[in-house]
Structure 1
Amino acid sequence: MQKEDCFYLGKIVSKFSFKGELLVKLDTDDPESFLKMESVFVDLNKNLIPFFIEKSSLQKSNLLRVKFEDISTEKEADLLLKKEVYLPLTMLPELKEDQFYFHEVIGFKVIDKTFGEVGILKGVNDSTPQALFEIEREGKEILVPLNDDFIWKIDKPNKELYLNVPEGLIEMYLD
């Protein structure tokens, strides 16, 4: 399995018991939908390795307590600490028409209600407190806060994202 065929589910943050159980911090708004997984892929030395789940349960809101098959000691569990966990894109829950996953909109043409055609969406930076659309226009990068109020509509079949951003926001990057 290749990383580009998967989505990031979370990170193994700590051991839970001396029997090899681990806690995975899930990066999702709906942790309950990932309780019945049979397996996950763990990024070990830039390779996605499948691990089969013996049992799992939620701890607090977004921590998944997991017991992998063939991991039964603290020493074995130590090898998985701080590793990223992935699932195939086919396992993403279905979204409503007006919702999207970040990876789905990369490459979309961005059009603002007032400004017109802005450029091409090159990425979504969600490592900041406010997620940002990264739009490329003629070699310049335009950053637009990912805010529901700014998203006018999305046309998935035509790969177009329509925004209605505050006046002057786009122009600020072009001067």
Structure 2
Amino acid sequence: MEYRKIGSISGTHGLDGQLNLHIEEIYSGFLKKNAFLFIELRSRTYIPYQLVAVRKVHQEFYIASFKDFDNVDDSKAITGKSLYLPVSLLDKIQQKLAPDYLSSFSIKDTHTGFQAKIEQVFESAGQMLAILKHENKEIIIPINEHFIEDIDEKKNIIFLNIPEGLLDIYLD
């Protein structure tokens, strides 16, 4: 299996085994309770570890707890190691972000409850954008990994954390 580096463990945090993580922003959506991150313990030997808790501290910095690491001594053993995800998982996510696939979905903002059907999806300057129609107004919203909170494939809804103020530009 092939893996892609998403970040690293920069140090311990406290005495109960928590770790400081530096994760590239585009992969932040994978940092969820019970998710598995892979640590390269030896050259090309990737071991999965389950996240028990994770919280964002600042931009690309997180404090996380992994299952089986409940004291500072255990955590020190993996400090400085790189974190990885399987490329197959990342590719599956990328396929779900393909324009043809997304055009049958609606977008729902997790903060305001705003919801609208996607009319069109296109790429501009390397970023995926969705055109929504709401009350005869055209709204353009970026769709990327750090805004997506969840995808309900049965109901065809993408739950987004739309940046504050973006909808106001179109709706006011």
Max Rg structure: 1
TM-score, normalisation: structure 2: 0.50
Of Structure 1 and Structure 2, the greater strand share is in 2
- The normalised TM-score by structure 1 is 0.49
